């Protein structure tokens, strides 16, 4: 069975990396405390990635595992309200542990607690995306967890594997690493089946791969292999590489770069392409903006659409809705996600970005449609 050499591993070439850390790694089973010695080595690895110019976000489990001990809850499965209480207590400790570990390296930690709705409703999704983007731009390391204290059974991820994949999709990451208590994907559960074979690479998640997901599970976290395959589906369809790797060794990220055994899932496009295809193709535009020739020329140079270049706003839409962008001649030239509702867009169209606050009473985005949220649909046409 071959392993990827250091120069081949997608982790080395990724620009934006999400690392998911499972409870069973972070929290020592015997004491119920944070495994600080191990965490220190992970923090060092993160620093190394950052020094190489790579952006890193963490999705960290462990709140419930840390809080349950503190609250004296008995071992075994917790009731929902008990996990919510445990998370409320444990999340503080978790955030503290990350802050301590990363600040040693001069890295600032930002805590983000997400609910299912934050990742599934477009407007909230876009808000979370934008906040995470700002945090990265400002050089901090977002540490994300599910907001377990307010999540109820029906609207809850419950596992951070899928949450991490949604985060990776949300912020167009090109690499997701699931640090886990298993070293990758096998054809069967290796603890029960001696003929189980390790699978180093997956291109295309077939029914056969799904079938391999049964069986391997851990008792501290909630993500078995099935949630990892579900995460891989999300990541890969967003153009993101995903890796399942054994996390419990020291320096768990450096090990991957050094060629340790792990399973990689490969996408067939990159995140920017996937996002632009999604904007261009699958959304029903809720409205239309007409733009002037200067704005069109700017879009064709890869710029954002500013309010100043918009001459007409049609339709009723909310912030985050998809819009058709048309030239003065009425030809569709682009599609994109609006940073403003139709009512606000009408008020600021034709005006300078510096006037937005005075016109709307709040300081919104400078762009009507940011270039990351915009795709040209008729590149050669001008009007």
Least gap, CB of 275 to ligand GLU (angstroms): 26
List the one residue out of 238, 173, 184 whose CA is nearest residue 14.
173
Assess contact for 331 and 302: CB atoms under 8 A: no
Least gap, CB of 78 to ligand GLU (angstroms): 10
Least gap, CB of 295 to ligand GLU (angstroms): 44
CB neighbours of 210 closer than 8 A, spacing ≥ 6?
229
Which is nearer to ligand GLU, 172 or 222 (by Cβ)?
Answer: 222
Which residues lie across from 291 on neighbouring strands?
Answer: 310
Which is nearer to ligand GLU, 21 or 240 (by Cβ)?
Answer: 21
Least gap, CB of 229 to ligand GLU (angstroms): 15
DSSP string, 331-362: -EEEEEE-SS-HHHHHHHTTS-GGGHHHHHSS
SS3 of 85-116: the string is HHHHHHHHHHHHHHHHHHHCCCCCEEEEEECH
Least gap, CB of 79 to ligand GLU (angstroms): 15
Which is nearer to ligand GLU, 155 or 358 (by Cβ)?
Answer: 155
Least gap, CB of 97 to ligand GLU (angstroms): 12
Which is nearer to ligand GLU, 65 or 356 (by Cβ)?
Answer: 65
Residue 281 CA to residue 286 CA, distance in Å, equals 14
Assess contact for 125 and 170: CB atoms under 8 A: yes
Neighbours of 6 (CB within 10 A): 12
Which is nearer to ligand GLU, 54 or 61 (by Cβ)?
Answer: 61
131-167 per-residue burial string, b: 16 or more CB within 10 A, e: under 16: ebbebbeeebbbbbbbbbbebeeeebbbbbbbbbbbb
Least gap, CB of 43 to ligand GLU (angstroms): 18
Residue 61 CA to residue 108 CA, distance in Å, equals 19
The SS3 assignment for 248 reads coil
Which is nearer to ligand GLU, 55 or 161 (by Cβ)?
Answer: 161
Six token digits for residue 343: 């009512």
Least gap, CB of 286 to ligand GLU (angstroms): 34
Binding site for ligand GLU (CB under 6 A): 23, 61-65, 87, 145-146, 148, 159-160, 221-223
Least gap, CB of 67 to ligand GLU (angstroms): 8
Which is nearer to ligand GLU, 96 or 351 (by Cβ)?
Answer: 96
List the one residue out of 372, 353, 368, 379 whose CA is nearest residue 305.
368
Which is nearer to ligand GLU, 68 or 255 (by Cβ)?
Answer: 68
Least gap, CB of 221 to ligand GLU (angstroms): 4
Which is nearer to ligand GLU, 90 or 267 (by Cβ)?
Answer: 90
Which is nearer to ligand GLU, 159 or 344 (by Cβ)?
Answer: 159
Residue 134 CA to residue 244 CA, distance in Å, equals 28
Neighbours of 125 (CB within 10 A): 18
CB neighbours of 34 closer than 8 A, spacing ≥ 6?
26, 27, 28, 62, 66, 93, 94, 97
Q: Write down the number of H helices and E strands in the chain.
A: 15, 15
């Amino acid at each position: 069975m071959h392993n990827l050499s250091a120069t081949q591993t997608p982790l080395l070439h990724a620009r934006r990396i999400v690392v998911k850390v499972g409870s069973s790694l972070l929290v020592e089973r015997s004491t119920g405390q944070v495994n600080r010695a191990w965490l220190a080595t992970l923090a060092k690895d993160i620093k190394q990635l950052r020094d190489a110019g790579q952006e890193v976000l963490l999705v960290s489990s462990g709140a419930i595992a840390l809080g349950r001990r503190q609250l004296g809850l008995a071992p075994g499965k917790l009731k929902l309200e008990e996990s919510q209480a445990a998370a409320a207590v444990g999340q503080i400790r978790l955030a503290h542990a990350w802050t301590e570990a990363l600040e040693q390296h001069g890295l600032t930690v930002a805590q983000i607690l997400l609910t299912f709705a934050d990742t599934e409703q477009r407007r909230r999704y876009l808000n979370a995306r934008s906040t995470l983007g700002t945090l990265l731009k400002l050089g901090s390391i977002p540490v994300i967890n599910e907001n377990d204290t307010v999540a109820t059974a029906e609207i809850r991820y419950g596992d951070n594997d899928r949450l991490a994949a949604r985060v990776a999709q949300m912020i167009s990451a090109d690499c997701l690493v699931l640090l886990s208590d298993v070293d990758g994907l096998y054809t069967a559960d290796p603890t029960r089946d001696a003929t189980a074979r390790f699978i180093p690479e997956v291109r295309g998640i077939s029914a056969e791969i799904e079938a391999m997901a049964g069986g391997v599970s851990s008792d501290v976290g909630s993500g078995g292999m099935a949630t990892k395959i579900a995460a891989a589906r999300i990541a890969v369809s967003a153009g993101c590489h995903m890796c399942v790797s054994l996390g419990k060794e020291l320096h768990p990220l450096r090990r991957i770069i050094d060629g340790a055994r792990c399973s990689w899932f490969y996408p067939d496009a990159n995140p920017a392409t996937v996002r632009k295809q999604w904007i261009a193709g699958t959304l029903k535009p809720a409205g239309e903006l007409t733009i002037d020739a200067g704005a069109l020329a700017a879009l064709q140079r890869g710029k954002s659409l500013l309010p100043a270049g918009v001459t007409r706003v049609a339709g009723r839409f909310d912030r985050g809705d998809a819009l058709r962008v048309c030239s003065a001649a009425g030809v569709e030239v682009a599609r994109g996600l609006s940073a403003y509702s139709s009512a606000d867009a009408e008020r600021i169209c034709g005006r300078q970005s510096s006037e937005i606050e005075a016109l709307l009473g709040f300081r919104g985005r400078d762009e009507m449609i940011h270039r990351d949220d915009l795709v040209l649909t008729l590149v050669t046409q001008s009007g």
